[in-house]
Amino acid sequence: MILGISIVVYNENEVTFANCLKLCKEIKSSKKIFVYDNSPKPKLRVLAEKYKITSYTHNKKNIGFGAGHNKNFNLSLKEKCGAFLILNCDASNFVKTISKMLQLLTNNSDVDGLVPIILDDHNKITDNVRLVMNFQNFLIRIFKFLITGKRVIQEMQKIYECKKPKTKLIKIPCAAGCFLLVRSSIFKNIGGFDENFFLYCEDLDLTRRISNAREGLYLDLNSKINHHGRRSSHSNQILFFIHIYSVIKYFKKWGILDLEASKTNAKWINYIKTFSSKIL
């Protein structure tokens, strides 16, 4: 199976970009690398040519994160890529991980999407696996001191901290998109990223639809990578308002009450609590 690696950048640091491409080139699996640059100037073109990637596309107009990945995906189909990796430039230590994940995707026909455990710069586990976002758990993520919020977070951590998992793969309802491997046929069938989301929430919407298709979204407990999560919307006022706007769009699409999400989350919370007896 040929792997299509998709990177979307906007005014990316040249060192970070070069390091990412270097790691991509070290992946031993058959691969194609696609970069979509939303920056005002194509300053990364020289580096893209240096590392001889498959495609570098520059667009003076910033079309957004999801739309950029969709453009890359269309190019990957022309290269007959059977798997599509959505990769953030600030991810690292993923060379061996992606080869293992690609093998899992190849050997397990029921797996449509796959994420590893994500570690931060201090090798601490991050919260890339999520419940389906609804208004209730959106507030929980903001007010983590709430009793309910603490309970859910603690239960999610039980999966991550399992020292001897009985399986490599655990079904999950939703995930962050900094490092997401998707079967190309599924990505195409669900229509890729919803381009109504310019930035933020597009990954939660995508992984929700992957999971909804046939419950084929999984966490690989035996795979880990590092991600330098910038959380720019926490410090940049413009990005903060873009984030809030995306949240509003998300609830407009899925609904404030969103009974489907509530039902799915209740199911997965119970699954998480008893996952040792519900392993697939």
User: Is residue 274 pLDDT above 70, yes or no?
Assistant: no
User: Is residue 243 pLDDT above 70, yes or no?
Assistant: yes
Query: Rounded CA gap, 14 and 27, in Å?
Result: 20
Position of tokens 């003076």?
Answer: 60
Which has the closest alpha carbon to 110: 211, 30, 29, 178? Answer: 211
User: Is residue 128 pLDDT above 50, yes or no?
Assistant: yes
User: Is residue 151 pLDDT above 90, yes or no?
Assistant: no
> What is the predicted pLDDT for the residue at 163?
42
Position of tokens 């976002």?
Answer: 133
Maximum C-alpha span of the chain: 54
pLDDT over 70, % of the chain: 85
Is the sign of the CA dihedral 162, 163, 166, 169 positive or negative? positive
Q: Average pLDDT, whole number, for the chain? A: 87
Domains by residue range for the chain, with CATH: 1-89 (3.90.550.10), 107-174+186-280 (no CATH)
The string of pLDDT tens digits covering residues 109-123 is 999 999 999 999 889
Of 19-28, 67-76, 224-233, 259-268, give the lowest mean pLDDT range.
224-233
User: Is residue 139 pLDDT above 80, yes or no?
Assistant: no
Query: Rounded CA gap, 188 and 210, in Å?
Result: 11
Displacement of CA 151 from its chain's centroid (Å):
24
For residue 130, name the pLDDT band (cuts at 50, 70, 90).
confident
Query: Rounded CA gap, 146 and 148, in Å?
Result: 5
pLDDT over 90, % of the chain: 65
For residue 125, name the pLDDT band (cuts at 50, 70, 90).
confident
For residue 144, which phi and psi values (nearest 5 degrees)?
Answer: -70, -10
- DSSP state at residue 184: H
Displacement of CA 216 from its chain's centroid (Å):
14
Of 82-86, 149-153, 202-206, 268-272, give the lowest mean pLDDT range.
149-153
For residue 278, name the pLDDT band (cuts at 50, 70, 90).
very low
First to last CA, the chain: 24
> What is the predicted pLDDT for the residue at 149?
45
Q: How many CB atoms lie within 10 A of CB 205?
A: 22
Displacement of CA 20 from its chain's centroid (Å):
16
The string of pLDDT tens digits covering residues 1-48 is 999 999 999 999 999 999 999 999 999 999 999 999 999 999 999 999
> What is the predicted pLDDT for the residue at 227?
94
Q: What is the mean pLDDT of residues 123-135?
A: 86
Of 79 and 214, which is predicted with more confidence?
79
Query: Rounded CA gap, 36 and 38, in Å?
Result: 6
